[in-house]
């Protein structure tokens, strides 16, 4: 019996622009600790929409979301920000780094925000993660001076800085070539097997999905498997 | 500390856009510079112009007006006490110009804590004789030291020495215009005829210029003793007591009190010069209006630049939010940016304002009315510096408030989706 990290209960989501359409229909599932889950489905079936709800960034939905057995529904914006900071690591398709900062500082920022460790410790932890991902030599480069694949690794390091309960990714390899996709996938795999990191990754890549523990397949706003 | 993080993020965003930031800060600097300069200069001028009147006007003046006595003898007669007495053709008695008991009054005034200074004065109407022409004028008998200390008498002496009226017997200081009319110079002896027809010879020891030329054409100063001699009065004779008090605004109240206490007339400075404040007020008001207008314009500049910055930084804001920064954190970051611009821009403005106004303060400025003034007057009052600085912070706060709020409300989902 393993611990449940994330639980979605009867989640419905509508878009009202230009006409009201239901894009998520009664989504119910849960993710256990240490699971490496991928979400697949045709373009437009609602994967991203679901992920934004699960990541607490989108609060406009029906149903209930529990993270770490705590309900996220009806929480205040500030509390949700704290949950994202502490418990969720997010990796986007496009390498969202802050160009005003160095690679190291980008990784450190969520850690500094959490304010659990001193600045020196946060820096040390950030370096550790960069090393683990094999990009410690980039630490002092500016965020816009590194390649796409490297950026994605920096983003993963950033997602890991606060030891999140779960890492979510929206097509994190979608914008990378074969080689870099492989590197990123291997990192995820390693995180899952060696560190028992829970991962929930949306992907289009069938090969990627097949190698994960569990595939959630979506069609038109419904989970089919 | 979380604020440290907010400051460091704000700093990075600022430095990444340092050119725009600089432009915004320069806007604030410029307006604060102008604000400080304008107010220092304007109020400096105001003070100077007000000083023309204020310096020479006592806050309270005790005197006896020429007017009929209030207590006519019939009213005190026991037989007519309960009647209403109609008296017609009352005449003023001129013999009462003297302030009775002046010595006692002065002593009692000296004990009054509100009083800063006292200068007794005698006013004597005379004719100055220039050949066959008699010029009407007046001789003011003054205590030259008190008059200099409290009413800047010495500042208006343009030639000779004012203090000599005390040291040289039978000496006089003439108004510049009067001296010109009399063709009199320092050390010359002039002749005056008193109202009673007596003729005196007086030695000119100084020339006086108040800047009000009509006044300078008819006025002269002598020592109290000389004036008493001119009028043929004893040593205690005094017609005016001029009083300077600690708080100018108390003058009307104090005047009323003294009038009752000493049984003479008392006039306060506000009544004597009811106009002078209006002009100063309008000038100051205009300076504030211009300064604040400049600041508001600078505020719009900051508003625009912040809005632009937020537009450019949408992605960054979305990432910050996705990684756990709350809306209020984002708001704080942009408020810090705005206030930093206000703070440093304002600080530089204070410095430049000081430099510019002290520059103006060095420009030669000669005013016939004020021989002691040689450069433009500048009022270096800390008040304007603190107002200027507060305003720069307030305007940047307001200018930053709406863009910051907008930034805090950015929905990361929309930005991330939009890619
Ligand atoms: N802001 C919006 N307003 C209206 N409809 C929207 C909005 N965002 C998404 N949709 C619609 O919701 C549906 C689900 O979109 P979503 O982005 O979740 O799809 P997806 O499964 O992530 O697709 P892809 O694989 O192409 O990323 C789509 O039909 C899309 O057109
Ligand atoms: Mg998508």
Is the predicted pLDDT of residue B94 greater than 70, yes or no? no
Angle at B407 between CA B403 and CA B409, to 5 degrees: 120
pLDDT at B261: 84
* DSSP-derived secondary structure letter, B3: H
Residue nearest to atom 20 of ligand 1 (CA): A44
- pLDDT value of residue B419: 60
pLDDT value at residue B96: 59
Model confidence over B106-163: pLDDT tens digits? 888 888 888 888 888 898 889 998 888 888 999 999 988 888 888 888 888 888 888 8
CA distances from B354 to A138, B45, B292, B360 (A): 48, 16, 18, 10
Ligand 1 contact, A39 CB (< 6 A): no
H/E segment holding residue B276: helix B276-312
pLDDT value for A166:
92
Nearest to B324 among A52, A85, A94 (CB): A85
* pLDDT for position B331: 92
* Tens digits of residue pLDDT in B35-80: 888 888 888 888 877 777 777 788 888 888 777 776 777 777 888 8
Domain boundaries, chain A: 34-61+74-223
Q: What percent of chain B has pLDDT over 70?
A: 96
CA–CA distance, A58 with A50 (Å, rounded to integer): 9
Nearest chain B residue to A164 by CA: give it. Answer: B323
| Highest mean pLDDT of the ranges A196-200, B18-22, B415-419 | A196-200
Kindly determine whether residue B323 and residue A77, on different chains, have CB atoms separated by under 8 Å: no
Grade residue B344 by pLDDT with cuts at 50, 70 and 90. Answer: very high
Contact B257, B165 (CB under 8 A): no
Please report which confidence band the pLDDT of residue B352 belongs to, taking 50, 70 and 90 as the band edges. very high
Decide if pLDDT at B351 tops 90.
yes
Of the partner residues A81, A101, A158, the one whose CB lies closest to the CB of residue B325: A81
Residue among B413, B416, B417, B419 to mutate when testing ligand 1 (max atoms within 8 A of CB): B417
B176-194 pLDDT per residue, tens: 889 988 888 889 899 999 8
Chain B residues inside the 8 Å CB shell of A174: none
Closest to B139 (Cα-Cα) out of B223, B240, B241, B220: B220
Tell me, what DSSP letter sits at residue B96?
G
B21 touches B14 (CB < 8 A): yes
pLDDT in tens, B160-173: 888 888 888 889 99
- B216: nearest Cα among B133, B137, B283, B330: B137
Question: Among the ranges A98-102, B28-32, B355-359, which has the highest mean pLDDT value?
Answer: B355-359
- Closest-CA residue to B396 (of B329, B349, B327): B349
How far is B396 from B150, CA to CA, in rounded Å? 45
* Measured CA distances, B76 to A3, A59, B67, B86 (Å): 112, 96, 19, 14
- The per-residue pLDDT for B153 is 84
CA dihedral A142, A147, A152, A154 (to 10 degrees): -30
User: Is pTM beyond 0.80 here?
Assistant: no
pLDDT one-digit tens code per residue, B273-321: 766 667 777 877 887 888 788 778 877 877 888 788 888 888 888 888 9
Alpha-carbon gap, residue B50 to B43, rounded angstroms: 10
What is the per-residue pLDDT for B369? 64
For residue range B388-410, list pLDDT tens digits in order: 889 888 888 988 898 899 888 88
Of the segments A86-90, B232-236, B370-374, which one has the largest average pLDDT value?
A86-90
Of B12, B328, B417, the CB nearest to A78: B328
Residue A20 near ligand 1, beta carbon < 6 Å:
no
Q: Which two tokens stand for residue B244?
A: 């300077």
> Strands B189-194 and B133-142, how do they pair?
unpaired
**DSSP E strands, B224-358:** 240-245, 265-268
How far apart are alpha carbons B202 and A176 in whole angstroms? 109
| In the block, residue with structure tokens 């004036």 | B227
Instruction: Examine the pLDDT at A52 and tell me if it is beyond 80.
Output: yes
What DSSP letter does each residue of A37-63 carry, written as one string? Answer: EEEEE-TTSSHHHHHHHHTTS----EE
Peptide bond into A64 cis (omega under 30): no
**Which CATH number does the domain A34-61+74-223 belong to among 3.30.390.50, 3.30.420.40, 3.40.50.300, 1.10.357.10?**
3.40.50.300
Segment A147-201, tens digit of pLDDT: 888 888 899 899 989 889 999 998 888 878 888 888 888 888 888 888 888 999 9
Task: With a cut of 90, say whether residue B350 has pLDDT above it.
Answer: yes
Whether the CB-CB separation of A164 and A86 falls below 8 Å is answered with yes
């Amino acid at each position: 019996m393993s611990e449940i990290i994330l639980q979605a209960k009867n989640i419905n989501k509508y878009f009202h622009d230009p006409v009201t359409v239901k894009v998520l229909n009664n989504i119910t599932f849960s993710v256990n600790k240490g699971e490496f889950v991928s979400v697949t489905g045709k373009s437009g079936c609602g994967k991203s929409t679901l992920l934004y709800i699960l990541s607490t960034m989108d609060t406009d939905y029906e149903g209930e979301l529990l993270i770490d057995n705590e309900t996220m529904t009806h929480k205040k914006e500030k509390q949700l920000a704290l949950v994202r900071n502490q418990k969720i690591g997010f990796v986007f398709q496009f390498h969202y780094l802050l160009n005003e900062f160095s690679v190291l500082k980008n990784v450190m920022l969520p850690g500094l925000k959490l304010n659990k460790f001193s600045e020196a410790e946060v820096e040390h932890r950030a370096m550790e993660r960069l090393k683990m991902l094999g990009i410690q030599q980039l630490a002092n480069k500016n965020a816009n001076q590194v390649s796409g694949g490297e950026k994605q690794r920096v983003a993963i390091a950033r997602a890991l800085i606060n030891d999140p309960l779960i890492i979510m990714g929206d097509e994190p390899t979608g914008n990378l070539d074969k080689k870099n996709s492989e590197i990123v996938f291997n990192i995820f795999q390693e995180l899952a097997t060696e560190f028992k990191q829970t991962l929930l990754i949306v992907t289009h890549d069938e090969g990627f999905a097949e190698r994960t523990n569990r595939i959630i397949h979506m069609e038109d706003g419904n989970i089919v498997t | 500390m979380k604020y440290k993080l907010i400051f460091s993020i704000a700093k990075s965003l600022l430095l990444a856009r340092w050119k725009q930031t600089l432009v915004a800060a320069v806007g604030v600097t410029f307006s604060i510079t102008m604000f400080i300069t304008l107010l220092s200069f304007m109020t400096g001028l105001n003070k100077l112009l007000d000083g023309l009147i204020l310096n020479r006007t006592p806050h309270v003046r005790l005197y006896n007006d020429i007017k009929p006595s209030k207590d006519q003898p019939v009213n005190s007669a026991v037989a007519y006490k309960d009647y209403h007495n109609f008296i017609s053709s009352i005449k003023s008695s001129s013999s009462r110009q003297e302030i009775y008991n002046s010595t006692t009054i002065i002593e009692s005034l000296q004990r009054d804590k509100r009083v800063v200074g006292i200068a007794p004065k005698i006013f004597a109407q005379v004719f100055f004789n220039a050949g066959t022409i008699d010029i009407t004028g007046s001789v003011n008998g003054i205590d030259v030291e008190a008059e200099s200390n409290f009413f800047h008498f010495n500042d208006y002496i343009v030639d000779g020495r004012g203090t000599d009226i005390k040291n040289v017997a039978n000496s006089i200081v003439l108004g510049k215009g009067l001296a010109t009319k009399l063709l009199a110079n320092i050390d010359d002896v002039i002749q005056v005829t008193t109202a009673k027809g007596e003729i005196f010879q007086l030695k000119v020891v100084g020339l006086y210029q108040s800047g009000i030329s009509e006044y300078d054409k008819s006025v002269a100063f002598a020592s109290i003793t000389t004036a008493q001699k001119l009028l043929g009065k004893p040593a205690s004779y005094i017609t005016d007591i001029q009083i300077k008090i600690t708080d100018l605004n108390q003058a009307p109240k104090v005047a009323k009190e003294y009038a009752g206490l000493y049984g003479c007339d008392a006039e306060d400075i506000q009544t004597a010069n009811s106009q002078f404040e209006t002009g100063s007020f309008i000038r100051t008001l205009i300076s504030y209006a211009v300064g604040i207008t400049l600041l508001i314009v600078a505020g719009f500049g900051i508003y625009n630049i912040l809005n632009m910055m937020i537009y450019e930084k949408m992605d960054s804001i979305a990432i910050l939010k996705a990684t756990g920064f709350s809306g209020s954190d984002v708001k704080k970051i942009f408020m810090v940016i705005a206030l930093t611009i206000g703070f440093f821009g304002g600080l530089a403005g204070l410095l430049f304002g000081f430099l510019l106004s002290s520059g103006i303060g060095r420009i030669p400025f000669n005013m016939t009315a004020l021989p002691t003034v040689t450069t433009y007057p500048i009022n270096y009052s800390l008040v304007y510096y603190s107002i200027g600085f507060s305003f720069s912070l307030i305007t940047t706060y307001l200018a930053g408030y709406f863009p910051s709020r907008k930034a805090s409300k950015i929905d990361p989902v929309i930005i991330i989706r939009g890619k």
